[in-house]
Amino acid sequence: MIILYAFIHEEKHQDLLDRYLSVFSGKFREDILKYRRWQDAQLSLLGKVLLEHGLRVYYNLQDVEIDVLANKKPILKGHDIHFNISHSKDLVLCAIAEAPIGIDVEFLDPQINYLDFKSQMTPDEFHRIHHSDSKIKSFFTYWTSKEAVLKAHGDGMMIPLESFEINGNECSIDNEKFYVKELFIDKKYQSCIASADINIKEENSMYVHVKLEDLF
């Protein structure tokens, strides 16, 4: 499994648009150009750029078509390679693996009040966060692990966060077991990856920091 990540930079924004916007479909180009903030446009574009870069460099795959399942989860058409993309603040992650995966990253925002999310937690989850020495870290560990599981499952918003609980980095949804692994990318961010493949627990992921200047 490969985890590619990059940080957005305003001074590289126009270069990225000029170099990569024409590579992707008309619909995706239109969506990128609709963003009012350069940050949102670059985060979205970089996710696709990291995927294209990772497939080409590490899997020798080019011009791969992305299809969308009925549950709106994107897949690589005609290939048994799976991916998932997440971004927050200034960081974009793209995970590529041989099994279905979900990945989530969140900026450790000190302004977040975990009490506002109590209704989306199980009683045990709330207790662990509430009595933690680092409530912000504990809250975002809970959040990213659950979001990663939902993305690995594929049904996303159809499954309430409080309807399942992760214990020992494992959980079950609809009798399907999922495994969670915490990732470390940057001290300002919390990230987790999840899969129904138990091997994710022991797999040594390759972390690749893609610098924007290397993409041109």
Residue 155 has pLDDT above 90, yes or no: no
For residue 29, the number of C-alpha atoms closer than 13 Å in the C-beta half-sphere is: 10
Read off the pLDDT of residues 8-42 as tens digits, 9 standing for 90 and up.
999 999 999 999 988 887 888 899 999 999 999 99
| 216 SS3 class | coil
The pLDDT value recorded for residue 52 is 93
The pLDDT value recorded for residue 63 is 84
Q: In the chain, where are the structural domains located?
A: 2-215
Q: What are phi and psi of 101, to 5 degrees?
A: -140, 165
2-215 maps to which CATH number? Answer: 3.90.470.20
| 113 torsion bin: left (phi>0), alpha (psi -120 to 50), beta (else) | beta
Could you tell me the pLDDT band of residue 46, with boundaries at 50, 70 and 90? very high
Q: Residue range 114-141: average pLDDT? A: 96
| Alpha carbon of residue 17 to chain centroid | 22
The pLDDT value recorded for residue 73 is 82
The pLDDT value recorded for residue 26 is 81
Angle between helix 123-130 and helix 135-153 axes, rounded to 10 deg: 150
More confidently predicted of 21 and 140 = 140
Read off the pLDDT of residues 52-71 as tens digits, 9 standing for 90 and up.
999 999 999 988 888 887 77
> How far apart are the C-alpha atoms of 122 and 201, rounded to whole Å?
24
The pLDDT value recorded for residue 4 is 97
> How far apart are the C-alpha atoms of 150 and 155, rounded to whole Å?
7
Question: Nearest to residue 87, comparing CAs of 135, 136, 48?
Answer: 48
Q: Secondary structure of 91-137 in the HEC alphabet?
A: EEEEEEECCCEEEEEEECCCCCCHHHHHHHCCHHHHHHHHCCCCHHH
